[in-house]
Structure 1
């Protein structure tokens, strides 16, 4: 079970930190939702040594492939769009599921580089996936859920090849859907975040809806046991008798590495029945909570900082689009937490339809397509002004232990 927050000795209330302006690398971390995240600030007061130490830990790879803009003479000026993909490399699953994308986020940076907009594309969104030959198992193309693009692109491959081809087909699918050619891309491995939390010790956050785990629980003797059988596609099958699942109840909690990863994976048994919309929100809250812990503890600890940079580097694979990571870092150093806006496609409401051969899929509404056109044309601020209810409300301040 998650560890309850220790209340204030003076008031008895959960301790909530005061807001403060973080170092520039931390603001970049938050601004892209976790992708090129440690980079800019490890500038920590302008330290080129720490910035180099951070960027040297990040895995560089050509992910965008044919979906990328020309890399000749690329500069950091102007509006930028980053394709951020979260994968959940769960153990004991086949290769197809290991490269299935769980979170797909377009990070839009306006031309003045003063804000960041995060637009999440539901993984069940019905899209046209183009034909693609990865050299191992060609895909003929067709209508399917958008997260299947990553799996189709990576079929028959493993390791770096699976990541690059899976990401390329997903990027091509997003480009065909939106007309947006990403300027950079990144894969964030949520399993790798367990290593970050291990270095930090725990991560504290506000659980906004009671969440029941389908992956972790204990039997009658208190021994760890899986509480549910899971279908091959990762969905819920049935409850296993005699096993009690972990329950993350609404409220402030500090989670250990196993609990933190388990919480952000859940989509089936959420109290508000918001499924992928809920999981997307929880992953964003988790990333912000990790950021807070890094800022308040990790950066100030000579013993934790080296391991922290190594763990973060192992958590992501980045395609910088031909623009050095250091340039990304310094150009976006002015984006603070208050300048980050998360926008919900379909206004955060379900718009599902049964599709033969696909199952229940999410249909992006005309207004969602209008939002994606605003991202393409750098008019998101005007869209937000016209559709304020589509902006995800900020959650409670990140708690601390």
Structure 2
């Protein structure tokens, strides 16, 4: 939406061309604000859910949310705040009947809401019910009723980077891949045996993993996707907080490169719009996408602030039947309240260390 509004300006034809590529679907369901007479004016909150699909995987299994971000747009529409909720956050998930496999409700990790909502379903129905239960969970936790919702497929971002050729960003901690490496002959090979739950089992002898060293990098499509997937072997051992931050940085880097490289290229633009459209599924909340794009036209990459819940520090607790879960601190709940009442700027001013740095550079060779 931002790239449409900023780069395409007043061209209604190109604006329509951009928004028409985006898949639209009712995602929020009962968690949505009333849609009658909705307007783009005032503060807005968008629930952004990232899923990490894998090639040749059964679509009915692709229902666990990989990242959960509340995007807050202040009433003056001058900037955007990205607030990530740790996927292991302990929350109360309400009872929910998706028509296939009802869920009784109870305490669990927040990303389980998407899985329980979509359980027993496939395709668009799995996405809509998974998203709805996640949105209801967040509404009960924070009091925030999302104005719109978006599912982003990180696998789809590979197609965007393919159009751009590369994405340049600052790697803020050396990151070792558990998915991609090469054997002694230089042939691609998996460096680690992975358990069914996604955790690392053991290193595979004779395979050297990809390592993304701290510093400026320009990554090709495959490496960029591999980098944002990593959580296990980060130098600072910040696991999901690190991946959360890297995904935010990646989104901002892609946006920056789209606006500086892709939109000025007549040969890249058609493929870029198609790739973006395939990456996103959007619930516009009853406000046309063209209105969203026009209202957000002043928000460029430099006007996007990413904020760390729990200050980016672990606050874990072992919970019977759930395992190790993250507990949102009282200050994190203050942040979420600031999102609800449109006072995030004051929170950031009072808690500057909670702002995730963009990194000292965005370009490299």
TM-score (norm 1): 0.88
Please show how residues 141-160 of structure 1 align to structure 2 within 5 Å: 141-160=105-124
1:282 equivalent to 2:246? Answer: yes
Change (3 A) 1:95 1:354: farther
Kindly report structure 1 stretches of 4+ aligned residues shifted beyond 4 Å: 92-97
8 Å CA contact 1:206, 1:250 repeated in 2: yes
Unaligned 5+ segments in structure 2 are none
- Shift of residue 387, structure 1, vs aligned partner: 1.7
Between the aligned partners of 2:9 and 2:77, the Cα distance in structure 1 is 20
Between the aligned partners of 1:306 and 1:90, the Cα distance in structure 2 is 25
- Shift of residue 92, structure 1, vs aligned partner: 5.2
After superposition, give the CA deviation of every residue in 1:18-44 in whole Å (9 maximum; x if it has no partner): xxxxxxx6xx2xxxxxxxxx43235x2
Equivalent residue, structure 2, for 1:45 = 9
Equivalent residue, structure 1, for 2:312 = 348
Between the aligned partners of 1:52 and 1:161, the Cα distance in structure 2 is 27
8 Å CA contact 1:41, 1:51 repeated in 2: no
8 Å CA contact 1:292, 1:398 repeated in 2: no
Residue 353 of structure 1 aligns to a residue whose secondary structure is strand
Out of 330-339 and 313-322, give the one that drifted further: 330-339
1:253 equivalent to 2:217? Answer: yes
Equivalent residue, structure 2, for 1:329 = 293
- Shift of residue 232, structure 1, vs aligned partner: 1.7
Between the aligned partners of 2:345 and 2:165, the Cα distance in structure 1 is 38
- Shift of residue 136, structure 1, vs aligned partner: 1.2
Please show how residues 24-35 of structure 1 align to structure 2 within 5 Å: 28=2
TM-score (norm 2): 0.96
Between the aligned partners of 1:224 and 1:327, the Cα distance in structure 2 is 46
- Shift of residue 222, structure 1, vs aligned partner: 1.9
Equivalent residue, structure 2, for 1:227 = 191
Q: 2:50 aligns with which of 80, 83, 86?
A: 86
Equivalent residue, structure 2, for 1:359 = 323
Between the aligned partners of 1:41 and 1:379, the Cα distance in structure 2 is 25
8 Å CA contact 1:96, 1:151 repeated in 2: no
Change (3 A) 1:137 1:95: farther
8 Å CA contact 1:267, 1:278 repeated in 2: yes
- Shift of residue 203, structure 1, vs aligned partner: 1.3
Between the aligned partners of 1:336 and 1:213, the Cα distance in structure 2 is 31
8 Å CA contact 1:83, 1:171 repeated in 2: yes
Equivalent residue, structure 2, for 1:12 = none
Q: RMSD of the alignment, in Å?
A: 1.5
After superposition, give the CA deviation of every residue in 1:90-127 in whole Å (9 maximum; x if it has no partner): 23556565221111011111112222111110011010
Residue 66 of structure 2 aligns to a residue whose secondary structure is strand
How many pairs are equivalent?
A: 365
Between the aligned partners of 1:296 and 1:379, the Cα distance in structure 2 is 31
Between the aligned partners of 1:331 and 1:85, the Cα distance in structure 2 is 22
Equivalent residue, structure 1, for 2:76 = 112
Q: 1:263 aligns with which of 227, 241, 244?
A: 227
After superposition, give the CA deviation of every residue in 1:324-374 in whole Å (9 maximum; x if it has no partner): 111111112222333322111111111011111111110000111111111
Between the aligned partners of 2:169 and 2:268, the Cα distance in structure 1 is 21
Out of 58-67 and 282-291, give the one that drifted further: 282-291
Q: 1:385 aligns with which of 349, 356, 360?
A: 349
1:242 equivalent to 2:206? Answer: yes
